[in-house]
Amino acid sequence: MDVKRTILAVALSFAVLFLWQTYFMPKPTVNPQAQEATQTASESTAGSQADAKAPEATTITTQVEEVIPAQSIVKTNIYNELISVSLTNLGGQIESSTLSEYKDAAGPKGKPLVLLPEDVSAAGQTTLAASGLNNNVLYQLVESTPTKAVYAYQTPGGVKIEKEYTLEPGHYDLGLKVTVYNISQAVVTDSLTYSTVQDFTAKESSNYVFSGPIYYTGADLEEVSLDDAAKNPKSDGAVRWTGITEKYFMMVTAPEDGKASVARLSTVGGNDKVVRISMDTESFTLTPGTAKAFLNRIYIGPKLASLMKPVGLELEAALNYGWFDAIARPLLALLNLLYGLVGNYGVAILILTAMIKGVFWPLSAKSYSSMAKMKELQPKVAALKEKYSKDTKRLNEEMAHLYKTYKVNPLSGCLPMLVQIPVFFALYRVLLYSIELRHAPFVFWLQDLSAPDPYYITPVVMGASMFIQQKMAPTAGTSEGQMKFMLYGMPILFTWLFKDFPAGLVVYWLMNNVLSIIQQAFQAKSAAKAKAA
């Protein structure tokens, strides 16, 4: 067995897996369902119509949309030290939000991040609607304080909707209490719909960072691509919450009782880049003079588990590290612990890399040792290949005997590499998705570890370190073409690949290469001393 061919295959498989995960990994899809004939043109209105056979029942939908004069629209704000939320009497809904603790750019020129700009029709801007009625009506603002706003609207059919927004200090999540009053003389049967609308026209989009509509079933997080959203799909069953996610931030609407009948998706105004994700409550019935309240949380903020867990609705499920989630989360916790000690995420990445390298040092040492032994056996292997070139069975028997005699396992050189791959990909996901690295400075030219190196210094140095590492590796048993690819092709490929990656990920890879070079040099020196003794 040619161990170098095996190691080359492992290296190539590693590169292919990396490239596939980065550029070609498919996103979860949702099976499109046929839209029901009873759906109205606006999905932000109250849900299902009452049974046509029950004349005493009514619904809370408005039949005709009014043209609202701009001068009639009035805004009000609720805020705390973390977030400012702008509300409008048009639909009694959230119009925009600004995060005080996060900036729109790194450095002193950065301004507070506007996560939900006002104009949904503008490229790359967002609005969020949480409403139990057609949003194209004017609500009355009946109460307003810095942390509370209450809107009310009464339909012509005698149904009153009251929406109460509350914001507590130190929270990114708002309370939304929707109360439906039946002040008519008829029985009301209906359901509420909460919707979130996002314009993705100018949003950051790539195959390795998902931005789009999501919903959580209580067991699985579903990410819906824009292509699938255009097919008007809906969830297979009940959901816990729905929302929109970006790389570092998300907007989620979650019923406090965890009950929603279904999630539905659609495009808005025929634009495939503008997506609405809606969530229906369970159907309810109100007799005359009765009311029903619906309690919800609306989270508009960073994707930080420490902030989402206290909400208590499993919002942290939106932190999706893929296949390597079980490894990624402890690595992130360790990275944050190191940051707390050193105060610099770049330095924390270097220390974490050294710690991981230390854990795998014995495995790497075994791999290097096995490769060195295989190099020494190559003359004997070559002789056997020449002697038994026409007898494959005998060749394999003699090579197995040779390896047994010299106590060499051909696979021991590549198995340690395979063990390390899950850890690498887990850390790769952590460094790619963690908001902790957003605008985090390292050294003077790297002021944002979540952004690519602006001068390509670290990718080039990383490629050079990879070249040195390949140069030092044993090459016995490898064809000239394979040697050239490993020596020149792999460093060039990874340099090109990493030039657009977050600097934090490149720093990790560079540090890992440097430590590997040190280990190879140390083992080569030790082997030379042992041979001379």
224-277 pLDDT, tens digit per residue, is: 998 999 999 999 889 999 999 999 999 999 999 888 878 989 888 888 888 889
What strands, in cross-sheet order, belong to the sheet with 83-88?
75-79, 83-88, 93-103, 112-116
Cα–Cα distance for residue pair 320/329, rounded to 1 Å:
10
Last residue of a domain, one of 295, 320, 345: 320
Residues 493 and 349 in one domain: yes
Residues 118 and 256 in one domain: yes
In a domain, 380, yes or no: yes
Residues 379 and 493 in one domain: yes
Last residue of a domain, one of 296, 320, 344: 320
Q: Which pair of tokens denotes residue 11?
A: 């290296």
Cβ pair 163, 139 in contact under 8 A? yes
Cα–Cα distance for residue pair 371/443, rounded to 1 Å:
37
Cα–Cα distance for residue pair 88/116, rounded to 1 Å:
13
Residues 305 and 347 in one domain: no
**Domain limits for position 193:** 54-59+71-320
Environment class of 465 (CB within 10 Å of its CB; exposed 0-12, middle 13-18, buried 19+): buried
* Mean pLDDT in residue range 86-94: 89
Q: Annotate 5-55 with DSSP letters as a single string.
A: HHHHHHHHHHHHHHHIIIIIPPPP-----PPPTT--S-TTS--PPPPTT-T
Residues 393 and 509 in one domain: yes
Q: Give the pLDDT score at 121.
A: 32
With bands split at pLDDT 50, 70 and 90, how would you rate the model's confidence at 204? low
Q: Could you tell me which residues are beta bridge partners of residue 145?
A: 148
| pLDDT at residue 23 greater than cutoff 60 | no
Residues 145 and 185 in one domain: yes
Q: Annotate 48-96 with DSSP letters as a single string.
A: PPPPTT-TTEE----SS-----GGG--EEEEE-SSEEEEEETBTTEEEE
With bands split at pLDDT 50, 70 and 90, how would you rate the model's confidence at 18? low
Residues 338 and 245 in one domain: no
In a domain, 334, yes or no: yes
- Percentages (nearest 5) of helix, strand, coil residues in the chain: 40, 25, 35
Q: Which of 65-69, 96-100, 399-403 has the lowest mean pLDDT?
A: 65-69
Q: What are phi and psi of 98, to 5 degrees?
A: -130, 130
Residues 86 and 218 in one domain: yes
- Mean pLDDT is highest, among 19-28, 215-224, 315-324, for 215-224
135: left (phi over 0), alpha (psi -120 to 50) or beta: alpha
In a domain, 66, yes or no: no
In a domain, 277, yes or no: yes
Here the CATH number for the domain that contains residue 297 is: 2.70.98.90
In a domain, 293, yes or no: yes
Q: Give the number of residues written for the chain.
A: 533
Q: Which of 177-186, 259-268, 296-305, 371-380 has the lowest mean pLDDT?
A: 371-380
With bands split at pLDDT 50, 70 and 90, how would you rate the model's confidence at 36? very low
In a domain, 249, yes or no: yes
Residues 295 and 335 in one domain: no
Last residue of a domain, one of 320, 351, 384: 320
| pLDDT at residue 1 greater than cutoff 50 | no
Q: Which of 168-177, 273-282, 333-342 has the lowest mean pLDDT?
A: 273-282
Cβ pair 150, 162 in contact under 8 A? yes
Model pLDDT for residues 40-86, shown as the tens digit of each residue = 333 333 333 333 333 344 444 444 456 788 888 899 999 999 999 99
pTM: 0.80
Q: Which pair of tokens denotes residue 407?
A: 């106590």
Residues 228 and 282 in one domain: yes
Q: Measure CA of the first residue to CA of the last residue in the chain; give whole Å.
A: 31
Residues 518 and 403 in one domain: yes
In a domain, 43, yes or no: no
Beta strand extents in 270-335 (DSSP E only): 271-280, 284-286, 291-302
In a domain, 415, yes or no: yes
Q: Could you tell me which residues are beta bridge partners of residue 262?
A: 280
Q: How many domains does the chain have?
A: 2
Q: Give the pLDDT score at 330.
A: 95
* Mean pLDDT in residue range 104-122: 76
Residues 373 and 470 in one domain: yes
Beta strand extents in 140-259 (DSSP E only): 140-145, 148-154, 159-167, 173-182, 187-190, 193-199, 212-216, 221-223, 241-245, 249-255
Of residues 464, 453, 468, 455, the one with CA closest to residue 506: 453
